[in-house]
Amino acid sequence: MNQIPTSKLKEMMIRVAREADAGEIIEIMNQAIDDQKNAYLSALDDESGRVWFESLFKKASSLLVVLMNDKICGWGSLTAYRESRDALSKNVEITFYVHRDYRRMGVGSTLIEHLEKTALENDKKNAVAILLDDNIESEILLKKNGCKVLGHFPKVAYFTNKVCGHFYMWKVLALDHLQS
Per-residue confidence (pLDDT) for residue 122, from 0 to 100: 95
- Closest-CA residue to 111 (of 171, 173, 63): 63
Q: What does the alpha-carbon distance between residue 92 and residue 64 come to, in Å, rounded to a whole number?
A: 15
Between the two ends of the chain, the Cα-to-Cα distance in Å is 46
Q: What digits encode the pLDDT tens for the residues 98-133?
A: 999 999 999 999 999 999 999 999 999 999 999 999
CB 79 within 8 A of CB 95: yes
Please state whether the predicted TM-score (pTM) of the whole model is above 0.85.
Answer: yes
Per-residue confidence (pLDDT) for residue 175, from 0 to 100: 78
Alpha helix segments (H runs only) across the chain: 22-34, 46-59, 107-121, 136-144
Single-letter residue type at 120: L
Residue numbers of the chain with a pLDDT score lower than 50: 1-9, 180
Residue 30 CA to its chain's centroid (Å): 13
What is the 3-state composition of the chain as percent helix, strand, coil, each rounded to the nearest 5? 35, 30, 35
Q: Which fold has domain 6-130?
A: Aminopeptidase (3.40.630)
Per-residue confidence (pLDDT) for residue 6, from 0 to 100: 45
